[in-house]
Chains A and B, each alone.
Chain A
């Protein structure tokens, strides 16, 4: 029971089909059950087309499952409306994408502040301090006013991590966060996520193709053809 209460995310018989009700209907996820705990640092691996991205979209509440249930912080989400999912997503999930996806029109600092601004409006001095602190923690305090296109790929990804953590989310979702970085920068970015996961006490789920990266995670979930084929915990 304690394990259940400790869960950030729980999937129960989660299914996802595309083109539902049409002749070309295709089920991509075939009833997944999964539990992610508060302190998990897990890698989601699997070959291309295995449904990793679909699963990540569902967990990130960007998409809705066809059947089954997805509990985020204990809240069932399948029948939630868009406003409810937006609220829950803003409160409890941080995203890091492969192509860092910063908003080019805003400075690095404003990009980090954006999730707070979307929720609260004008950021308080405390919020600005927090964002500056996060930029400092990723080693970019000097680049607060710099536009993303003036930053290197690794720097942009670090801004994206700071942005994902500014709301103190319960779950950090990372989609190939090091996918287009060189190995040295990739290692740095990975270490940052690792450190923040530990310090901020948030669960991390990262999708990766890189076996070295998944090996460095505490837990590895292997998705093949829409089914979880293995779930190994290297720490326990």
Chain B
């Protein structure tokens, strides 16, 4: 049918072009209902500010705790497997009762540790490996005697596990033969200063006398009271394990993958490998409980923001019933009406989130500047992007019900609505 009245423009049915109109309508409706718009955006902003600030705070706190914890210990420690009693297998069909005395685990070297180090060095996820020999000893000066943990290290390699030079209080980080680095607590107890002599007795060899070249303070009382660092060779001699090491200390790139990497190393080397996560199970529990509570806060804030947006849009749909009817009479499809309200929901979320993020930056700045100063909170970009995306998605989802109601309005009823 050829209609003489057909429009000069060909009807374009591109959804993208029609979306433009939905945008214009949504923006204009938002601007028109300024009071409502401002109210709900402030509501969204407060919610987003809380989410971003709390998340940043907790993330900062956790990063700080983890950094402090891992600053003084290896991410993964590789040890020799425990020695077990050999037992003949019981003949088939018999029941064997065993009364076993567990073997005492003597200090012994990791077999072929040079090769194991080379293997671990080649692993992608491992950042550094350091062979360590550790054993008990007495440290004495005059009549005073203290039990210490003798730790023989290759200083260059060990620095990549624990940056000892960063913790030096006095002296310089170096470990030539006949030199030792001691913790600040031990130094105080024995009245030692850099340059003083220290007697070390392992009970296996003649006591050695070493020079104190550095006093370090790791900030962990136990370590500062007990750790005595020696060169690898000297410690091997003192502990009667020439050429041997008792453990390999590792750091990895992704600290939270440490347990998986440890399992892999255990399979690969047939040695024991334990990650910092196993050793600090309580800390890990605390961290995951914190993360859980942060997530709960995010969920409940999102919910209340969603209900806020939904209720404002529901009111808006009622207020605009007649205009929706007019738009429908002028050729607006249900899809377009739906889009108009979904876009409004998204904009409430997005713009509210932008304001909220600005607010969160202010809160974080205030905290970092005037707060207790125990630690610094960064605001990660990923967190900001996450908050923007979350608020926008929540806005769209919250708008779904009112938008659907608007789209399903009967135009006849809508137009006559007063």
Query: Distance (Å) between the CB of B248 and the closest chain A CB?
Result: 66
In the complex, per-residue mask of B309-340: 1 if CB is within 8 Å of any chain A CB, else 0: 00000000000001100111111111110000
Q: Determine whether the beta carbon of A91 is less than 8 Å from that of B7.
A: yes
Chain B residues whose C-beta falls within 8 Å of the C-beta of A168 in the assembled complex: 5-8
Q: Determine whether the beta carbon of B9 is less than 8 Å from that of A116.
A: yes
Alpha-carbon gap, A120 to B11, bound state (A): 6
Chain B residues whose C-beta falls within 8 Å of the C-beta of A97 in the assembled complex: 326, 415
Q: Assess whether B18 is interfacial by the CB under 8 Å rule.
A: yes
Chain B residues whose C-beta falls within 8 Å of the C-beta of A63 in the assembled complex: 410, 412
Q: Determine whether the beta carbon of A118 is less than 8 Å from that of B17.
A: no
Q: Assess whether B21 is interfacial by the CB under 8 Å rule.
A: yes
Query: Distance (Å) between the CB of B72 and the closest chain A CB?
Result: 63
- Of the candidates A62, A83, A117, A127, the one whose C-beta lies within 8 Å of that of B334 is A83
In the complex, per-residue mask of B215-247: 1 if CB is within 8 Å of any chain A CB, else 0: 000000000000000000000000000000000
Size bracket, chain B contacts: 35 or more
Q: Determine whether the beta carbon of B1 is less than 8 Å from that of A74.
A: yes
Q: Assess whether A232 is interfacial by the CB under 8 Å rule.
A: no
Q: Which residues of chain A from 130 to 159 have any CB-CB distance to chain B below 8 Å in the complex?
A: 130
Chain A residues whose C-beta falls within 8 Å of the C-beta of B334 in the assembled complex: 82-83, 86
Q: Assess whether A195 is interfacial by the CB under 8 Å rule.
A: no
Q: Assess whether B89 is interfacial by the CB under 8 Å rule.
A: no
Q: Determine whether the beta carbon of A167 is less than 8 Å from that of B331.
A: yes
Query: Distance (Å) between the CB of B386 and the closest chain A CB?
Result: 32
Query: Distance (Å) between the CB of B308 and the closest chain A CB?
Result: 22
- Of the candidates B9, B322, B326, the one whose C-beta lies within 8 Å of that of A120 is B9
Q: Assess whether B210 is interfacial by the CB under 8 Å rule.
A: no
Alpha-carbon gap, A127 to B17, bound state (A): 15
Q: Assess whether B390 is interfacial by the CB under 8 Å rule.
A: no
Chain A residues whose C-beta falls within 8 Å of the C-beta of B410 in the assembled complex: 63
Q: Assess whether A233 is interfacial by the CB under 8 Å rule.
A: no
Q: Determine whether the beta carbon of B326 is less than 8 Å from that of A62.
A: no
Chain A residues whose C-beta falls within 8 Å of the C-beta of B332 in the assembled complex: 86, 90, 118
Q: Assess whether A101 is interfacial by the CB under 8 Å rule.
A: yes
Query: Distance (Å) between the CB of A112 and the closest chain B CB?
Result: 11
- Which residue of A has the minimal Cβ distance to B327? A118
- Of the candidates B28, B29, B31, B331, the one whose C-beta lies within 8 Å of that of A118 is B331
Sample of 8 A–B contacts (CB below 8 Å):
A62-B415, A89-B329, A92-B5, A104-B323, A114-B327, A121-B17, A168-B8, A170-B3
B positions within 8 Å CB-CB of A:
1, 3-9, 11-12, 14, 16-21, 24, 28-29, 31-32, 322-323, 326-336, 410-412, 415
Known: A87-B331, A168-B8, A201-B5. 20 other contacts (CB 8 A): A63-B410, A74-B1, A83-B335, A91-B6, A91-B7, A103-B327, A104-B323, A114-B327, A115-B331, A116-B9, A118-B18, A118-B21, A118-B327, A120-B17, A120-B18, A121-B16, A121-B19, A121-B21, A127-B9, A202-B5
CB-CB nearest 10 A-B residue pairs: A90-B331, A121-B17, A105-B32, A121-B20, A117-B21, A170-B5, A115-B330, A105-B28, A86-B333, A62-B411
